[in-house]
Amino acid sequence: MAPTVGITTTAALDVALLDAAGVRPGARVLDVGCGRGDTTFDAARRVGPSGLALGVDASLTVLERARRRAADAGLAHVGFVHADPQQQRFAPLRFDSIVSRRARHVFADPDVGFTNLLRALRSGGRLAVVSSDEADGVRAVLERVGFVDVSCAAVGARDNAAAWLVSAGRRD
């Protein structure tokens, strides 16, 4: 049985997500399916100006809003990329942490999408995602594509389905 984490607000979920991914000052963080950038901004606050928080999303409309918010806040260490995160060629071994509140749902083929993210994660880096899919199914995909130390915790419900916080690492 997976442990349960009591999460009742979006802010608390972001804290748990960033903690599970090991986001720390100076880190380079990728937020997959970032939408309007709320989690990306939370990551930027945590990494500080010596780090980088990069959001990627397939919706140009929401990214334009996120870019305006970053400019209005004067955050030079936040960026947003308009791309399909399953197909985007991220620089290999670039990110210390990868996070997503919806990664599983932005991938047409989860194996291809998570393999792409694994290539972008540096050795020793962590991935953390929230998913409403069955925890064992998410674990199986992550392990199949090469992630290690996969852990799952129930975090309540989302869209009338159980939600899971799943984290995993990369080891070379």
Give yes or no for a contact between 158 and 8, defined as CB atoms under 8 angstroms apart. no
Give yes or no for a contact between 116 and 83, defined as CB atoms under 8 angstroms apart. no
Provide the pLDDT for residue 7.
45
Name 4's bridge partners. 154
Fill in the DSSP letter of residue 91: P
* Angle, helix 60-73 to helix 38-47, in steps of 10 degrees: 40
| pLDDT tens series, the chain, 172 aa | 455 444 445 678 889 999 999 999 999 999 999 999 999 999 999 999 999 999 999 999 999 999 999 999 999 999 999 999 999 999 888 999 999 988 667 899 999 999 999 999 999 999 999 988 888 888 999 999 999 999 998 887 666 666 789 999 998 7
